[in-house]
Amino acid sequence: MNPPSYSVIADSDCLGVPWLVIMDELQSALLEFHERSKHRINRYAPGPGRLDWANQPDPFREFAGVPRIRLPLAADTLATRFNDVRSGELASAGAFELESIAILFELALGLSAWKSHGANRWALRCNPSSGNLHPTEGYLLCPKLADLSAGVYHYLSRDHLLEQRAAIDDRSWDDAFSCNGILIGISSIYWREAWKYGMRAWRYCAHDCGHAIAALSYVAAALGWQTRLLDAAGDDMVAGLLGLDRGEDFAAAEPEVPDVLLWVGNPDCLPDGQCLLDAAKKATWHGRANRLSAKRLVWPDIETIHRATHKPATLELGASRAEPAAPPAAPALDLSFAQIARQRRSAVSFDGAASLPASSFFGMMDCLIARRDTPPWNALSTPAMVHPLFMLHRVDGLEPGLYAFLRDPAVLAGIRQAMRSEWLWQKAGPAHLPLYLLLPYDLRDTAKSICCHQDIAADSCFALGMLAQFETALQEPWCYRHLLWECGMVGQVLYLEAEAAGMRATGIGCFFDDEMHALLGIEGHVWQSLYHFSMGHPVDDPRLSTLPPYGFQGFQA
Ligand SMILES: Cc1cc2nc3c(=O)[nH]c(=O)nc-3n(C[C@H](O)[C@H](O)[C@H](O)COP(=O)(O)O)c2cc1C
């Protein structure tokens, strides 16, 4: 089992200090954070204790003093079916223009509804977020298009508009986009999440970023475009391109940190990040970021893990992908992609009775296999490093119990050796799926107690933990973030698949990490369970009212 290796090009932190000494310190910081941010049966990870509601962060970042471009609400014009997208059948690619870019943002990061209960109202978005706190911000970087000038734009989901942070009138900027495509930048505001979840919030921010990457990749495919993360870009480059390093623009505001750049266009012809950065540095920037809370508590653990997982510039990885296999079985419901993207929700409770047809379950597994050209996996160049361990409660035709689904069959020997020797490893399901029954047993109570005693883990058709190849993070600390993103991407696949199966899913960030490891028999840090999930038949909360996301009086600015 060989984790991918990233070749570091340069890192200014290592001036004069031997690289191995730095790596040793980074690994210790990472391990300390990982251990201390675990929830344990007898104590939760350090958090704020009580919620300071008066200081709750504003869920919307906006920039004062910027030109604003209203985007059309055009998602209803998108005819693509969800089943075509998940099968890797790209729609015919449209031009990069305001309307198609508007759809990309609307269905990936836009609002999906407003909810209300009594006097309280809150927005939901197409991308999920732990606690609905939405630390993720989205940016567009584009060349001069027919109806949009070249530059860097921040997406304000509340009003579905672009805020122009930088107008870029520079040949080299447009030349760097000569491959015909656009870049989407993703950043995180840790404070939004830390306000409620304290130290563990850092992990949730990374999961949310993974959900956002996947959400964008799906919509791009529905518009006929491939996606690919710019692996080589270091954090400093991403920060420079998104304007996050412009101290004066964030002077009064909570900082935003760089995550990734997602190329939307030809995956074999990537833009030159350095050319873009040089042009962005010469550009005229506008705007001051808003302050989200009256006061901000600093979490030193988050500052430490942020520094420890700083991504240097690395060499571009060659895409390594399985060839497309037979398409997954069609889902139970044949819905349009736009409908699935907008109706995706987290279940707050499940009925504890419905069961999922085995064919639906197997179709979902097909969609979890990282295939070239199929969203969201076309965005990644790395082999699958996250593998679901299912606690199946009610899937027709499959015995309840513990199952391993190996998204990369090459990990079988290593993962098997890392777990209890008494597991059965009995092949289950269709021949082509690397699905193994480990233990036939009713695990509903176990699932509930592992997931911080949440009923959704027991009342679902299945719950799962995502076992990640954690040793990659120990070798290259920034890969910790990558693993957490990949977990979020697995989650986003399951969220959309659930809707198409007539079910509903919920991400589970609250779980007792080492209880899951104890169940599996995992010791040490080669493998760690980083995110949990559940899917079942939802029971809605009748006290909540739902209002449309846009275009009615009262909520839009
Ligand atoms: C990383 C992550 C962790 C989450 N953890 C939990 C959890 O432990 N329990 C829960 O009930 N919901 C959890 N959720 C669901 C969120 O609360 C939900 O996404 C949010 O309230 C927004 O609602 P929506 O998904 O319906 O848009 C999680 C979601 C994400 C993305």
Atom 22 of ligand 1: nearest residue by CA position: 132
Contact 448, 458 (CB under 8 A): yes
Q: What is the pLDDT of residue 190?
A: 98
Give the CA-trace dihedral at 157, 161, 166, 172, to 10 degrees: 100
Residue-level pLDDT at 297: 85
| pTM exceeds 0.85 | yes
Q: How confident is the model at residue 8 (pLDDT cuts 50, 70, 90)?
A: low
pLDDT in tens, 251-268: 999 999 999 999 999 888
Distance from C-alpha of 441 to C-alpha of 401, rounded to nearest angstrom: 4
57: CA distance to ligand 1 center in Å?
17
Residue 449 has pLDDT above 60, yes or no: yes
Residue 512 token pair: 């007792």
**Would you say the CB of residue 460 lies under 6 angstroms from ligand 1?**
no
Tell how far the Cα of 129 is from the centroid of ligand 1, in angstroms: 6
Other CB atoms within 10 A of residue 260 CB:
24
DSSP 431-442: TTS-EEEEEES-
The Cα–Cα gap between 355 and 339 comes to 23
Q: What percent of the chain has pLDDT over 70?
A: 94
Q: Which atom of ligand 1 is nearest to the CA of 124?
A: 27
pLDDT in tens, 87-114: 998 888 989 999 999 999 999 999 999 9
Predicted confidence band of residue 555 (pLDDT cuts 50, 70, 90)? very low
What's the pLDDT band for 327 if we cut at 50, 70, 90?
confident
Q: How far is the CA of 284 from the centre of ligand 1 (A)?
A: 38
State mean pLDDT over 9-34: 72
Average pLDDT score over residue span 122-142: 98
Looking at the CA of residue 451, tell me the nearest atom of ligand 1.
8
Cβ atoms within 10 Å, residue 174: 15
Structure tokens at 362: 């197997």
In the chain, domain spans: 47-314, 337-536
Q: How many helices (DSSP H) and strands (DSSP E) are in the chain?
A: 17, 22
Tokens at 359, concatenated: 């064919």
Q: Cα of 347 to ligand 1 centre, how many Å?
A: 9
Between the CA of 505 and the centroid of ligand 1 the distance, in Å, is 9
Residue 15 has pLDDT above 50, yes or no: no
- Mean residue pLDDT of the chain comes to 93
| The two domains 47-314 and 337-536 share their CATH topology (first three levels equal) | yes
The two three-digit tokens of residue 17, written as one number? 């200090």
From 130, 487, 492, mutation site for ligand 1 pocket: most ligand atoms within 8 A of C-beta: 130
Whole-number pLDDT of residue 14: 35
Average pLDDT over residues 392-399: 97
pLDDT at 397 > cutoff 50: yes
Neighbouring C-beta atoms of residue 72, cutoff 10 Å? 13
| Cα separation, 141 vs 263, whole angstroms | 10
Residue 549 beta carbon below 6 angstroms from any ligand 1 atom: no
Is residue 499 lining ligand 1, measured as CB closer than 6 Å?
A: no
pLDDT of residue 496: 98
What would the mean pLDDT of 294-319 be, rounded to a whole number? Answer: 90
Closest to 213 in 3D by CA, of 201, 190, 231, 193: 231
Strands, E assignment, 43-106: 63-64, 68-70
The CB-side HSE value for 279 (13 A sphere, CA atoms) comes to: 23
List the residue whose alpha carbon is closest to atom 31 of ligand 1: 129
User: Are 74 and 106 a contacting pair, CB within 8 Å?
Assistant: yes
Classified as helix, coil or strand, 33 is helix
What is the distance in A from the centroid of ligand 1 to the CA of 543?
A: 19
Cβ contact 256:199 at 8 Å: no
Ligand 1 and 131: CB distance under 6 A: yes
pLDDT of 321 > 80? The answer is no
Residue nearest to atom 17 of ligand 1 (CA): 131
Does residue 509 have its Cβ closer than 6 Å to ligand 1? yes
Q: Ligand 1, closest atom to CA 348?
A: 11
| 514 vs 96: CA distance, rounded Å | 47
For 160, the 3-state DSSP assignment is coil
Does the domain at residues 337-536 carry the CATH identifier 2.30.40.10?
Answer: no
Is the CB of 135 inside a 6 Å radius of any atom of ligand 1?
A: no
Q: Choose the CATH number for 47-314 among 3.40.50.720, 3.40.109.10, 3.20.20.140, 3.90.1150.10.
A: 3.40.109.10
What type of residue is 34?
Answer: H
